[in-house]
């Protein structure tokens, strides 16, 4: 009796829900996008030397592209395996969505891959990287502290 593996099917509503949630999380962390280009969020109280930086790299009428990376102020050349991957994220303001365009040297991620493949991406790699972004942003909203405004302790408040 043989095992027939079913082909991965993109769950479009789930993808869009994750991208929509990420859009709202990012805007909350960016304080609605005032006239700034960089935001820094400490990852935990008393750890201002470890922060997540959100930086605008491109802005147009309907989209904003940001780069999200972990910074280590005390250890500027921190070991690579300790660092979160550098993410490039595009916010689509008309659709109210945010999706990961690239991370590190991985660009143009497709919604579905046959597995195995040359890059060894998972079948649902795009969904996984967008979920990862969501988890990072949710952590910042729940436990992070804005470094720009010392009176604002939590990004939740």
- Mean pLDDT for the stretch of residues 6-32: 91
Mean pLDDT estimate for the chain: 83
Percent of the chain residues topping a pLDDT of 70:
80
Average pLDDT over residues 12-39: 92
pTM, whole model, 2 decimals?
0.81
What whole-number distance in Å separates Cα of residue 101 and Cα of residue 148? 27
CA 78 to CA 84: how far, in whole Å? 11
Q: Is the pLDDT at 152 greater than 70, yes or no?
A: no
Domain boundaries, the chain: 12-146
**pLDDT on residue 50:** 78
Is the per-residue pLDDT at 154 higher than 50? no
Which has the closest alpha carbon to 68: 17, 119, 152, 140?
A: 140
Res 56 pLDDT > 90: yes
Cis bond upstream, residue 116 (ω within 30):
yes
pLDDT over 80 (residue 38): yes
Q: How far apart are CA 136 and CA 80, in angstroms?
A: 18
Residue 146: DSSP 8-state: E
pLDDT confidence of 156, banded at 50, 70, 90?
A: very low
Provide the pLDDT confidence category of residue 138 given band limits of 50, 70 and 90.
Answer: very high
């Amino acid at each position: 009796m043989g095992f027939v593996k079913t082909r991965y099917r993109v769950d479009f509503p789930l993808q869009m829900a994750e991208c929509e949630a990420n859009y709202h999380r990012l805007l909350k962390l960016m304080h609605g996008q005032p006239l700034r280009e960089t935001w820094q969020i400490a990852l935990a109280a008393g750890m201002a030397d470890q922060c997540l930086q959100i930086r605008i790299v491109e802005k147009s009428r309907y989209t904003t592209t940001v780069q999200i990376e972990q910074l280590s102020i005390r250890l500027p050349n921190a070991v690579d395996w300790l660092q979160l991957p550098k993410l490039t994220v595009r916010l689509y303001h008309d659709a109210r969505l945010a999706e990961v365009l690239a991370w590190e040297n991985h660009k143009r991620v497709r919604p579905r891959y046959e597995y195995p493949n040359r890059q060894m991406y998972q079948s649902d790699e795009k969904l996984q990287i967008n979920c990862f972004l969501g988890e990072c942003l949710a952590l910042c909203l729940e436990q992070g502290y804005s470094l720009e405004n010392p009176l604002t302790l939590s990004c939740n408040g």
